[in-house]
């Protein structure tokens, strides 16, 4: 299941997702950061043609389309590249920000290697990020428990045959409707959210209701009911 994360480079957002244990980054987000272009998609199209004309190299061969959360709140296929591929792409972008961005990419990649070797580091970094955002310790503790429950839930779904993003979306929507009478996409509209993670904007009441629902109905029975 692909999940969109947000990385910050000098205050600018770059979407990324884990694929085969590697970070893959949105190419148009990187182009937007490096060039300040208001039309990064057109810049990317023109750049691919220019590079092919100049060096007969197709940049599309080092890219992969992965689903990332778009501004409209939907998961959409997006051109992405891993760190190695992104270094090659950056070589073709004339920008004074290129070298600082390469160093930032290298740091992100190194942190990911550390997290694979020691998963606790990822949890610690998440806690620090929430603290920097100003969330109180009590909220952070509840959020971290929620993350752990969500991981257990998706692991169980995967064991029972869930594979595509759509499978997880349907199952999550069913739980949300049972708990709150509203789907996550509907709730995001109510909250006025776009790229933000809905669970970071749920109050204590909804978070605790969600946990009570999971405890009240055994996980296996809940999944079977949803899949039938």
pLDDT, tens digit (0-9, with 9 covering 90-100), for 90-112: 989 999 999 899 888 888 776 76
Residue 78 bridge partners (DSSP): 66
Q: Name which residue leads in pLDDT, 129 or 11.
A: 11
Q: What is the mean pLDDT of the chain?
A: 78
Q: How many CA atoms lie within 13 A of 136 on its CB side?
A: 4
Query: Residue 130's pLDDT is what?
Result: 75
What residue segments make up the domains of the chain, in order of their start?
5-117, 137-227
Query: Which pLDDT tens digit goes with each residue over 141-170?
Result: 888 888 778 778 777 887 888 776 777 788
The H or E element that residue 64 is part of is strand 64-69
Ramachandran category for residue 165: left, alpha or beta (phi over 0 → left; psi -120 to 50 → alpha): alpha
Quick check: 211 and 149 in contact, CB under 8 A?
Answer: yes
pLDDT grade for 205, boundaries at 50, 70 and 90: very low
Q: What is the pTM for the complete model shown?
A: 0.53
CA triple 115-122-173, angle to 5 deg = 120
Query: Residue 195's pLDDT is what?
Result: 55
CA triple 151-19-91, angle to 5 deg = 140
**Does residue 118 carry a pLDDT above 70?**
no
**15-29, 96-110, 190-204: which is most confident:** 15-29
Contacts of 120 (CB under 8 A, 6+ apart): none
Quick check: 49 and 60 in contact, CB under 8 A?
Answer: no
Tokens 């969500």: give the residue. 150
Query: Residue 158's pLDDT is what?
Result: 79
């Amino acid at each position: 299941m692909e999940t969109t994360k947000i990385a910050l480079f000098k205050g600018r957002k770059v979407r990324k997702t884990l694929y085969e244990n590697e970070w893959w980054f949105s190419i148009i987000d990187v182009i937007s950061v490096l060039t300040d272009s208001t039309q990064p998609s057109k810049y990317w199209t023109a750049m691919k043609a220019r590079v092919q004309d100049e060096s007969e190299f197709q940049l599309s061969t080092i890219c992969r389309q992965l689903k990332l959360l778009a501004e409209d709140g939907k998961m959409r296929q997006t051109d992405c590249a891993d760190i190695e591929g992104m270094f090659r792409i950056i070589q073709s972008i004339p920008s004074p920000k290129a070298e600082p961005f390469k160093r930032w990419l290298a740091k992100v990649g190194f942190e990911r290697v550390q997290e694979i070797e020691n998963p606790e580091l990822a949890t610690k970094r998440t806690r620090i990020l929430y603290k920097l955002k100003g969330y109180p310790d009590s909220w952070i503790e509840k959020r971290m428990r929620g993350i752990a429950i969500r991981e257990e839930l998706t692991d169980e779904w995967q064991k029972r045959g869930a594979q595509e993003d759509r499978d997880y979306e349907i199952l999550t929507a069913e739980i949300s409707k049972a708990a709150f009478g509203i789907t996550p996409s509907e709730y995001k509209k109510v909250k006025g959210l776009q790229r933000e993670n809905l669970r970071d904007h749920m109050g204590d009441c909804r978070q605790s209701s969600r946990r009570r629902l999971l405890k009240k109905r055994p996980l296996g029975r809940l999944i079977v009911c949803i899949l039938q």
